[in-house]
């Protein structure tokens, strides 16, 4: 298992323990351990294979018990205590933690008081206005949760902004390292700060756009290349998310950045205003109509 996978199990353990009302310090120990494992500079599985569980106790926040948990996970891909905790709750309970603004404590309250064990059941009780009467909640909390449910529904096809921006920044960092790239950034709904993002839009400036497109298609982290032209590359990232790269010459970079960042409605309004002034505006710049 990778460090990210190990950390995910520890984090889920913390959530399950908190839902069950476990001691705060025990919950916190799992959360801290998950952070340490996720940020470790070396793969935990490799460290275990070479030096054994005792070596893990040298990591901050990892005691003997957590080291044994990690060793069990690395060896079997499962953790018996984790499986036991999950078996105590409905299968859909942990999925509810993916909803924006719903943490383990509030989830435990909703589960305990209303018996809600899935996203679908939560949507039903929220629409029936049964959440607002729970201790510590109210009409505003219920409204926020309904909004979070809508975002979650959208994220089946669109991802949350907080998940996509780090990915966009990683791709942009790789673009900036390619030979001939003078500037690069992300655009589209991620740049506009929308709550959810569909495809990722990237933009680069270069006097040799064909070479940049070829380099990105070959080594940009794409799982599958859908289109590779002289100024555009479209492909799928691991997990199926689509990314589109446009490459323009430096003189057009500012115009292209606003063009590919603006919503369709924004771009229509901008073109209409330009036409009234006898101008043409597109991704390459602003030009006087002839």
126 and 194 belong to one structural domain: no
pLDDT tens profile 182-219: 999 999 999 999 888 888 999 999 999 999 999 999 98
How many domains would you assign to the chain?
3
284 and 165 belong to one structural domain: yes
CATH number at residue 186: 3.30.460.10
pLDDT tens profile 107-158: 999 999 999 999 999 999 999 999 999 998 899 999 988 888 876 776 566 7
How far apart are alpha carbons 259 and 282 in whole angstroms? 7
113 and 59 belong to one structural domain: no
CATH number at residue 107: 1.10.150.20
260, burial (CB in 10 Å: exposed 0-12, middle 13-18, buried 19+): buried
CB 245 within 8 A of CB 225: no
Host H or E run for residue 161: helix 161-176
In terms of residue numbers, what domain contains 196?
160-288
278 and 197 belong to one structural domain: yes
In this predicted structure, what is the pLDDT of residue 154?
61
């Amino acid at each position: 298992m990778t460090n990210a996978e190990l950390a995910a199990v520890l984090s889920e353990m913390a959530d399950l323990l908190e839902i069950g009302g476990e001691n705060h310090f025990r919950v916190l120990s799992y959360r801290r351990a998950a952070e340490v494992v996720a940020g470790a500079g070396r793969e935990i599985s490799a460290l275990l294979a070479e030096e054994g569980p005792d070596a893990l106790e040298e990591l901050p926040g990892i005691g003997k018990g957590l080291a044994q948990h990690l060793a069990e996970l690395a060896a079997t891909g499962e953790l018996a205590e984790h499986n036991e905790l999950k078996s105590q709750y409905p299968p859909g309970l942990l999925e509810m933690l993916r909803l924006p603004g719903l943490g383990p404590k509030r989830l435990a309250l909703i589960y305990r008081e209303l018996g809600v064990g899935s996203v679908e059941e939560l949507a039903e009780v929220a629409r029936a206005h049964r959440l607002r009467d729970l201790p510590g909640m109210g009409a505003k909390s219920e409204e926020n949760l309904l909004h979070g449910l809508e975002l979650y529904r959208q994220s089946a096809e669109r991802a949350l902004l907080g998940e996509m921006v780090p990915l966009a920044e990683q791709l942009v960092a790789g673009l900036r390292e390619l030979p001939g790239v003078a500037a690069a950034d992300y655009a589209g709904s991620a740049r506009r700060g929308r709550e959810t993002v569909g495809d990722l839009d990237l933009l680069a400036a270069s006097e040799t756009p064909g070479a940049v497109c070829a380099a990105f298609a070959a080594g940009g982290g794409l799982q599958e290349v859908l289109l590779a032209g002289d100024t555009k590359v479209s492909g799928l990232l691991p997990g199926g998310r689509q990314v589109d790269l446009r490459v323009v010459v430096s003189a057009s970079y500012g115009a292209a950045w606003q063009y590919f960042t603006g919503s369709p409605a924004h771009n229509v309004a901008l073109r209409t205003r330009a036409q009234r002034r006898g101008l043409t505006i597109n991704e390459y710049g602003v030009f006087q109509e002839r």
